[in-house]
Amino acid sequence: MSQPFFGMGFRRRYAREIAEKAEGMVLEIIPDHFLGRQDELRSLSQRHPIVFHDVGLSLATANDRWRKARLEWIRPLVDAAQPILFSDHVALTRSPEGFDLGHLGPVLYSEEQLAILIDNIGESKAMLGIPFVVENMAAPFVFDGGDMDEPEFFRRLTHESDSGLLLDVTNLVLNARNFGATPEERMADYPLERVWQLHLAGGADKSAAFWVDSHSGSPDDETLALLKKIRERAAPRAVIVERDANYPSFEALLNDVANARAAWEAP
Amino acid sequence: MSLSALQNTIVRLALFADERARFVANPSGYLAPIRLSDRERRALASVRGVEWDRYANSLIAKRADELVRVFPRTVKIAPSLRSAYSGWLRNNPPRVLDDVIGDETCAVTGDVGRDVIGGVLPPAVAEGLRWLENSGGVWLESERFATYAADLARFEAMLRASHNDGRVRSLKSRFAIPNLAKEIGEGTLPLDPECEPTEIRFSRTGCEWRRMR
């Protein structure tokens, strides 16, 4: 079983340090940050393995009028960077009538929703031409009455769309805290054999008796400890440490990546 | 399709405080005219009002955090900008089309870029322009703020917008806003600046301005 690449989300504030101190580290790119910057992206891809991460496809939305246009402007960036994976979330970010949530919205795990997602992932894969992975979100709440639970939904979705799972380990931990069950219990039913990428983050806030993913700290011990269990069934190609707030020194971020690698490789 | 109706309803409940209040007060009454299956009605009703509110507030907080980064100088003279915007947003959520600029662009989500990204607006900048046009401009022109507050906000938003999408924009003001913006950036808060009618032209490379006679 090959080792995954370990790395971080590319943020321009760290561009100089990445060039100087992180040669060969996998970088996760948000396409919006590189609009019109194909040359810079091409240069980065010559020094780093690249994965793309999007929040704008709104893969769950039925009858969406904007996805195709977004894919069309992302495609030149994919051509320039040749990423090994492209990811987005199993979520709504806009409604069919065109209101913009500005963040991820939850879905009902129904057969109809599954079919829409499979179609939308198929369209995205066809336009981008690279392996596609779908991410689990930190749920604000869970709808009753679905045809299946989240792990079964992801199992069917990844198999029937021939895509991988981007397992956000932190989101899994937070969902376990918020909705009952241990992370190990929740994880046991996930299609870990379909995990092609992992996300790790930290700094979760608990307000109003509810845990919220803030991406503002280092991955905690509970999250890192799960890597050993995931390793038993999964062979991800990339493990990414996410950081979107309370930005630390680059050395501290490198340390987070090193800790993730150590947790993954621990005997 | 029923799923479209379900998704429209989820998003409306998350974005419109008044619709959410009507739903929480009478879920079956609110959902009655919407073409949903019985199961979808039960799914929506299974989420408690406090959960909808918590989610809605998190969406507003995220947008407000992004918006204040578009107005770093204006916030110094109008510290309540964040709460004013948040209050307005509760019943005035953006449409996807609000983020669309030009013929070959599309909605963009992601963080607020400080850099040139070419052709499209980052969502927070588009949102800043939308707020100024529909509510924020009038709010900043109220007497509680410095007389130049609204024009300073327009200056900040238009500078960022033109820097990102390359469109030329212009602003006429009674004040030398670029100078005031510089002073505020350096830590000074001009209280009663002299009138210096000014015309400012924004482009991808920044702004040019001249005093008008």
Distance CA A136, CA A198 (A): 10
Predicted confidence at residue B123, as pLDDT, reads 83
Closest CA to A191 of A225, A229, A157: A157
Determine which of A32-41, A206-215, B78-87 has the lowest per-residue pLDDT on average: A206-215
Q: State whether B118 and A37 contact (CB < 8 Å).
A: yes
Chain B, window 1-60: residues with a beta carbon less than 8 angstroms from a chain A beta carbon: 1-4, 6-8, 10-12, 14-15, 39-40, 42-44, 46-48, 51-52, 54-55, 58-59
User: CB atoms < 10 A from the CB of A146, how many?
Assistant: 19
Residue B50: CB atoms within 10 A of its CB come to: 12
pTM reported for the whole predicted model: 0.91
Q: So what's the pLDDT on residue B10?
A: 98
Residue A2 has pLDDT above 80, yes or no: no
ipTM of the complex: 0.94
- Chain B environment of A76 (Cβ under 8 Å): none
Closest CB to A144 among B43, B58, B96: B43
Mean pLDDT score of chain B, rounded to an integer?
A: 88
CA distance A94 to A101: 5
Task: Check: CB of residue B107 under 8 Å from CB of residue B100.
Answer: yes
Please state, in angstroms and rounded to a whole number, the distance separating the CA atoms of residues A80 and B28.
Answer: 51
Of A98-102, A222-226, B16-20, B93-97, the poorest mean pLDDT is in B93-97
Kindly state the percentage of chain A with pLDDT values over 70: 99
Above 50 in pLDDT, residue B99? no
Could you give the CA distance from residue A222 to residue A214 in angstroms, rounded to a whole number? 16
Residue B96 banded pLDDT, cuts 50, 70, 90: confident
Whether A150 shows a pLDDT value over 50: the answer reads yes
Residue window 83-122, chain B: list those with CB within 8 Å of chain A.
93-99, 104-111, 113-120, 122
Whether B54 sits inside 8 A of A73 (CB atoms) is: no
Distances from the Cα of A23 to the Cαs of A19, A26, A45, A264, B204, in angstroms? 7, 9, 11, 21, 32
A145: nearest CA partner in chain B: B43
Q: Do residues A93 and A55 lie in contact, with contact meaning Cβ atoms separated by under 8 Å?
A: yes
pLDDT exceeds 70 at position B138: yes
State how far Cα B139 lies from the chain centre: 13
What's the average model confidence in pLDDT over A232-240? 96
Higher pLDDT pick, A159 / A37: A159
Nearest to A52 by CA among A22, A23, A91, A26: A26
**Residue B117 and residue A101: Cβ atoms within 8 Å?**
no
Q: Which of A143, A178, A210, A214 to mutate to test the interface with B (most CBs of B within 10 A)?
A: A143
Q: Is a pLDDT exceeding 60 seen at residue B98?
A: no
Mean pLDDT, to the nearest integer, of B67-89? 97
- Which pLDDT score is estimated for B119? 52
pLDDT confidence bin for B1, thresholds 50/70/90: low
Tell me the pairing of strands B206-211 and B198-203.
Answer: antiparallel
